[in-house]
A and B are shown apart, each in its own frame.
Chain A
């Protein structure tokens, strides 16, 4: 059974006559043990949708059902034990230690004064351990790197002991190493702790590698869902941006720019890494690559490019100039 479902949900912002519906007719299913990546361009409605799913905003139409109950029938305290949030907002908690920050995640379970029991402390320890930040537990949040801060927020979410964790762009502002580490961590939590993890992201390559499912918002405000491989093969990724100068490259698992070119060639190369580097170099020098072209060039090394004429050139820019004149 899905832990979170939506039925004919419409999301948007504003009220009354100024109301804007961003997405509608959403029938989504979020299951425990799986990680879902919500992809879409800026302004597509990712955050708006997450706010509706975490019940920060009321649905414009339709319903959100969490753990079998419609969200409107769940009180705040129960909700805080069902859905944990990691948002993009900067927090004013610089003078909290990591442990204190993570302990705030216990609030849905503690009493009126928020005192931590021994059980609560054990859970906080386990959450610090799970995200690998135990060694920094007594340090202040202000002294952490962005990646460590994000881990601490994930640990806070874990401490809430909710079946669902929702993260709004958890890897924004992170360098590639922290991005990969964070995504791996979330994937591990889905698998090992049986959490339903829903995150929005612009990190296409990591999402395609680690997400079990994709929810893709297309440029015409349609939401395409399914397993990652299904969604990629359906061609949904091509519909994210309306701009034709940006195309999804399935073999790269990422988007790439379409650059203007005056000539197309076929490339022969034995080393796939070298081939990729040289294809990029050709593209930015105005040479498109087309396997159906009758003009073939052979690449033996970075400085060893054999043109169709048999001439050997030592740089891509030279080769590109020569190819343009052949045309």
Chain B
């Protein structure tokens, strides 16, 4: 592997990976660490990728998984701290809820948090990763038709939430 090969992959994928990681973790610092660690893993396993596209899809998958793991780890840590300090607060005991509170006025971010994970993931990869259905299918290991259905259902759920908030542009 040459520096030039890696730099080309890095330039091509960084923004997309950062957006995906940032949208899942909801933290600049965590997104940076998640993306950095994923590139390190890619460097160590460079020889196993037959093509640059394979490396790209592998990276997206690793970033997604690492970001989700970060969320779960963060949630566990918060629970431990809260138990220790006896500051149990049912409303702010998870990063998801905390993010929702912080970003409740921030449109799409708060809607995304309220979606089930399998719908949120396809939408994040579609709208933030800018992947097409075929690419999303490769990353998530599901059929292209399944991606199409999930994107549609995610949008239906979003539209319902937007209507509840009186934010429905489809109304005349």
Q: Do the two chains bind?
A: no
B residues near A (Cβ < 8 Å) are none
